[in-house]
Amino acid sequence: MLHSRTRLLLAAALVALLSQFNLAAAASPTLRYVLSMPAPQTHYFEVETTLSGFNKAYTDLKMPVWAPGSYLVREFAKNVEGFQATSGSEKLRTEKVSKNTWRVYHSKGKDFKVNYRVYAFELSVRTSFIDAAHGYLNGSSVFMYPADGKQLGSTLEVRPAQGWTQVSTSLKPAGGTFTYTSSNYDELADSPIEIGNQKIYTFTANGTPHTVAMFGDPKVDEARLTRDMQRVCEEAQRVVDRNPLDRYVFIVHNIDRGTGGLEHLFSTTLSVSRNAYSSEAGWKGFLGLVAHEYFHLWNVKRIRPIALGPFDYDNENYTHMLWVSEGGTEYFSNLIVQRAGFLTPDEYLGDLSNGINRVENTPGNKQQSAAESSYDAWIKYYRPNENSANTGISYYDKGEVIGAVLDLMVINETKGQKRLDDVMRYLYDQYYKKLGRGFTDEEYQDAVAKVAGRRFDDFFRRYVYGTETLPYETALGYAGLKLSVATAAATDAALGASISPAGGKQTVSSVLRDGSAWQGGLSVGDEILAVDGVRVTDDPNKLLAGRAAGSQVKMLVNRDGQIKELNFPLLASSARRYRIERQANPTAEQQTVFNKWLPVR
């Protein structure tokens, strides 16, 4: 038994320890955001952030320079106005210390508030927008975070503009009207928000509730919309066969011209032409977009290159693997639409043929590898110019056809037992679930080898990190298919330049590498005035149609206000038309590969 005095000393020590614990707990930093929009017609969001428990003499707050999923530095800080900080009634000293960093000087541990406005008038899936009709935001372009506090959870209260009754987001409710919680800044930044009077549709896919928030009042069959989206989502879940969801939100902007989609951890934003639903082609295109962005919840958001998370919001995050993350997602999304029954196998083969045509008729395919295209997305893909087609290749297009070829090779190697679906499952289990990180370039190749039972190092060296033409014939042959190639007749000539009519002028907008115009000195920006003495009033390509290769052409052009005459021979067209066709009488082994690749459910 302890002596009474000893017990008293221990009790006092315990009280002191608990007191210190409570003080430490009370001093733990917390964040609360309030998003307001009192005058939406002016295109401004207003943000108030309350910061508690920050025990330094100053706190730096940062605005990201880019939005994950869109690989371009967009400098979101340029839209910030009226930054100020207060503690109670005291106005605090602030200063801007870098292009996207604001420093607030405050008393240690004392609560303070930061207020600022964000101009938001770019309606894209990557940015933020507000007007009299609705508001939409990506967190990385609106919410700042403490430089040393990306790991901090936060609450967010959304105060809609007068007359707006809906808030749609994948953030979890936190109690209170339109109040939400996030476990860290990455989650807040990765949960877009639609605010207004959008229409809400719901469906359940494999037991998970899905919400569709539709802005733009399109003419669409609600029953068909939810039924077909459900089929696509359930088919997408079969690929990896792991469901990490407890909810999912589609935000759909129906506008004059759709611009695509952007993926998030528990949601996506789709930008769709409002008349897309009125035709079968438009409907299938919409379902393809749904499949692409939905499949990203695995590929990129959870199965990801190691460079893509945790994010550095101040700088570019480089990876060679966007051909997998984006191009591979495009490959799987088209398969998902086919597997869900919206495309026949032959219709799918037609779409893949179009993908091969895009790749093989782009001169830059021989200049830039898929890996280089991925790495240079920050400086090339999102900053195209008139020469881009000559110098680079889309990692979407190239990644899709690489995926098809590699998938067929894995299926053949395993005699129809395994395919790229199994590679995705392995990556999910090994890196996302077990190791809690992304994979390296080498680890992706290791995963393919593990599933296939042999390595494909030579394939990756030549066709992913190199620019050799993919072995289409070999891979397609495994499935009893062949690739037909139609070339222009040797006598058919082509100018090799694109012409843009503007203001009644016929102006060169691009010149094809090694084509007639390239060799003859025609430049982007040249206004073509006459061809062989005939005044040009329409696209000069029409005047040259039917000319024989080798024939001379004389052009009069206006270049920077000076008239120049160009004389050069017309070269044969280099265009090729690729089409995947079925072979007659495929073998049993070929039919096994085909059935594994394009199953009909």
Give the strands of the sheet with 58-62, arranged side by side. 94-98, 101-105, 58-62, 145-146
- Report the 10 Å Cβ neighbour count for 508: 22
Residue 579's Cβ-count burial label (10 Å; 0-12, 13-18, 19+) is middle
pLDDT value, residue 491: 60
Q: What pTM was estimated for this model as a whole?
A: 0.93
Domains of the chain with bracketed CATH: 27-196 (2.60.40.3650), 198-289 (1.10.390.10), 298-479 (1.10.390.10), 493-574 (2.30.42.10)
CA dist 103 and 147 (Å) reads: 10
CA dist 232 and 236 (Å) reads: 6
pLDDT single digits (tens) 101-111: 999 999 999 99
With pLDDT > 70 as the criterion, what percentage of the chain qualifies? 95
pLDDT value, residue 504: 86
pLDDT band at residue 490 using 50, 70 and 90 as cut-offs: low
Q: Is residue 398 pLDDT above 90, yes or no?
A: yes
Backbone angles phi, psi at 146, to 5 degrees: -65, 135
The tokens describing 167, both together, are 């808030």
Q: Is residue 489 pLDDT above 90, yes or no?
A: no
pLDDT value, residue 180: 98
- Report the 10 Å Cβ neighbour count for 91: 10
pLDDT single digits (tens) 446-470: 999 999 999 999 999 999 999 999 9
The type of residue at 262 is L
pLDDT single digits (tens) 9-64: 444 444 444 444 444 444 689 999 999 999 999 999 999 999 999 999 999 999 99
CA dist 526 and 559 (Å) reads: 5
pLDDT value, residue 27: 61
Tell me what the mean pLDDT of segment 369-394 comes to: 97
The tokens describing 547, both together, are 């000319």
pLDDT single digits (tens) 64-121: 999 999 999 999 999 999 999 999 999 999 999 999 999 999 999 999 999 999 999 9
Q: Is residue 6 pLDDT above 60, yes or no?
A: no
pLDDT value, residue 552: 95
pLDDT single digits (tens) 299-308: 999 999 999 9
CA dist 576 and 275 (Å) reads: 33
The tokens describing 320, both together, are 């060679």
Q: Which residue has the tokens 């690489």?
A: 402
Sign of the torsion formed by the C-alpha atoms of 277, 279, 285 and 287: positive
CA dist 17 and 111 (Å) reads: 25
Q: Provide the CB-side half-sphere exposure for 543 (13 A, CA).
A: 18
Q: Is residue 153 pLDDT above 60, yes or no?
A: yes
pLDDT value, residue 488: 66
